[in-house]
Structure 1
Amino acid sequence: MERLNQWITENPTLYSIFKFILLATFVLAIIQLFRRFLRKQVTDASVRYKSQKGIEIFGYVILILLSFSYFTGNIKDFTLAIGLFSAGIAFTLQELILSIAGSLYIFIVKVYKPGERIEINDIKGDVIDVDSIYTTMMEIGQWVSSDNYSGRIVKLSNAFVFKGPIYNYSQDFPFIWDEFNLPIRYGSNVELAKSIIIETAKEILSQFTANSKTQWKAVVNKYYIEDAMLDPTLAISLTDNWIQFNLRYIVDYKKRRFTKHTLHDKINLEIKRTNGKVLLASTTLEIINMTKTKFNVETKN
């Protein structure tokens, strides 16, 4: 022991280098331990790769800073170095940590669950899986019209639940309001047209209306919200070209497109049966007056 102390006293530079090698070895060992931990715990290949690379790069940066600080004597407390390293790890993996926290938030608060239709980060679709890092959705919309599947499966980081609004189409109240306009020609029997549209809507939408009324009561009791009109309603406005009938109704969120098709088809059939008493309109152009212009053409020989 005395000989070791004597060697340290006689060779301070070599002793400092030896201590630094031990410190560097410790830092590299911590990096490898974190990499092994991520390799075993993270199942997604992309996240695993990026996390491992992030830790590796950050570890080398910390090693360079420690080298500079060690030999210049600015950092003498090893505990401070470990603290900086831990903070760096947390910063490097902040997206991964947020994703894990987001998954806990989703399950505890019940933000959404598989089978529900949501829109988040401008992506709309049906949730088909929620794991510790990603929410997996079957996308709807984009280049296809209405609420049809596009065929793409989207993986979205659970961290997005903290970054913006989440639109849920089916939680608590699996119905949405929809509407469309019908142009009726001036001179048509307006009362007959109103009767056709309302009666057809009541017939086709009766099941949706009855089911929605039961569930809407639960929503009103749970949230601070006003009562709403759930029966089909019709509003009329006059335009330059036609009488516009606006039908507003409630429908199952997964049957919006088919229901609109059924309403259009049935209403169009009933209007045809009126034998001209009610007519659908289209954009027209009426020429009020046209000035006659005479042209004299003279020929020269």
Structure 2
Amino acid sequence: MGAIQQWFKDYPLLQSILKYLVIVVFVLLCVQFIRRFLKKNIANTSVRYKSQKGIELLGYFLLAFVTVLYFTGSIKDFTVTLGLLSAGLAFTLQELILSIAGSVYIFVVKVYEPGDRIEINGIKGDVIDVDSIYTTMMEIGQWVESDNYTGRIVKLSNAFVFKGPVYNYSKDFPFIWDEFNLPIRYGSDIELAKAIIIKAATKTLAEYTKASKDQWKDVVTKYYIEDAMVEPTLATTLTDNWVEFNLRYIVDYKKRRVTKHVLNDLIRKEIEATNGKVVLASQTIELIKIPDLKIETNT
């Protein structure tokens, strides 16, 4: 024991570093203990996640405060040291600092949170985690049709919230507008075709229409935006080859693909049941004239 004490006396800087490491380890252990306690005792997933992230951020700030205070030796030098340290770090660790600032901005302003579907920096996906540096997303789209998962987990720097727009599919209004076109052959019963499409849309989308009306009222109250029609709408366009119906409707942002499938399948069955009164059109080519052919034979 005496040899160890003498060793510490001979190397005071090493002794100081070891004491600092003990303090850091103690703070980290306390943070982990509190995180595990919250995980076991909070049943609500959202509240548990936010509480754990709050403790994690608090631990980082506490470590930063202890570090500066420990090496300056006095609280009166804290602001001066912090200013010098900030100037150096701002130059060498710009991206890291911006990422940490982004995480605070995301948490305070609630730009997005785990469970939201967002598009940022050209990447679309569902947010599955937000930490002090990165946002983790389950990617959708890319080579996969519609809004299906690709299976890739993407980590994106939180600094991107300051560098471009963030598209949130679920914040405040968890519905989106979608549409598709239906070509109907000229000579069909157009009024019957309209009735079939509107009936199918009304039947399939009734739940979404009702829920979105209440949500949209809150959006109009909160933001400077005009009131919009959330019921299914049908527009008609006359083209060279057919009558084109454009069906526009509102749907849950996570059920866009399956809803479009249900609508198309139901409309197809109803059109087939008209026994030719309504016919879906397809691209056709009309041959106006066959050019005269002259064939010469040598006898």
Normalised-by-shorter TM-score class: 0.7 to 0.9
Q: 1:277 corresponds to which residue?
A: 277
Gaps of 5+ in 1: 1-25, 42-81
Matches for 1:59-208 after TM superposition, within 5 Å: 87-208=87-208
Q: CA deviation at 1:88?
A: 3.4
Give the Cα–Cα distance (whole angstroms) in 1 for the partners of residues 289 and 277 of structure 2: 29
Give the Cα–Cα distance (whole angstroms) in 1 for the partners of residues 230 and 143 of structure 2: 31
The CA deviation string for residues 3-40 of structure 1, in whole angstroms up to 9 with x for no partner, is xxxxxxxxxxxxxxxxxxxxxxx9xx99xx9xxx8xx9
Give the Cα–Cα distance (whole angstroms) in 2 for the partners of residues 243 and 83 of structure 1: 70
Q: CA deviation at 1:241?
A: 1.1
Q: CA deviation at 1:297?
A: 1.1
The CA deviation string for residues 192-221 of structure 1, in whole angstroms up to 9 with x for no partner, is 000000000000000000000011000000
Matches for 1:216-231 after TM superposition, within 5 Å: 216-231=216-231
Out of 204-213 and 286-295, give the one that drifted further: 286-295
Letter in 2 for 1:254: K
CA 1:86–1:277 in 2, change beyond 3 Å: closer, same or farther?
closer
CA 1:247–1:86 in 2, change beyond 3 Å: closer, same or farther?
closer
Q: How many residues align?
A: 231
Give the Cα–Cα distance (whole angstroms) in 1 for the partners of residues 86 and 274 of structure 2: 79
Q: 1:258 corresponds to which residue?
A: 258
* Secondary structure of residue in 2 paired with 1:209: helix
Letter in 2 for 1:140: I
CA 1:88–1:126 in 2, change beyond 3 Å: closer, same or farther?
same
Q: CA deviation at 1:90?
A: 2.0
The runs of at least 4 consecutive aligned structure 1 residues that moved more than 6 Å come to 82-85
The structure having more radius of gyration, on CA atoms, is 1
Give the Cα–Cα distance (whole angstroms) in 2 for the partners of residues 107 and 286 of structure 1: 62
Give the Cα–Cα distance (whole angstroms) in 2 for the partners of residues 166 and 86 of structure 1: 28
CA 1:86–1:279 in 2, change beyond 3 Å: closer, same or farther?
closer
Letter in 2 for 1:253: Y
Aligned alpha-carbon RMSD (Å): 2.7
Give the Cα–Cα distance (whole angstroms) in 2 for the partners of residues 113 and 244 of structure 1: 40
CA 1:253–1:295 in 2, change beyond 3 Å: closer, same or farther?
same
Q: CA deviation at 1:94?
A: 1.0
Give the Cα–Cα distance (whole angstroms) in 1 for the partners of residues 222 and 109 of structure 2: 15
Give the Cα–Cα distance (whole angstroms) in 2 for the partners of residues 261 and 186 of structure 1: 25
Scaled by the length of structure 2, the TM-score of the pair is 0.72
Q: CA deviation at 1:86?
A: 5.8
Q: CA deviation at 1:172?
A: 0.4
The CA deviation string for residues 103-159 of structure 1, in whole angstroms up to 9 with x for no partner, is 110011010010000000000000011111111111001110100000011111111
Letter in 2 for 1:285: I
Letter in 2 for 1:192: L
Identity of aligned residues (%): 73
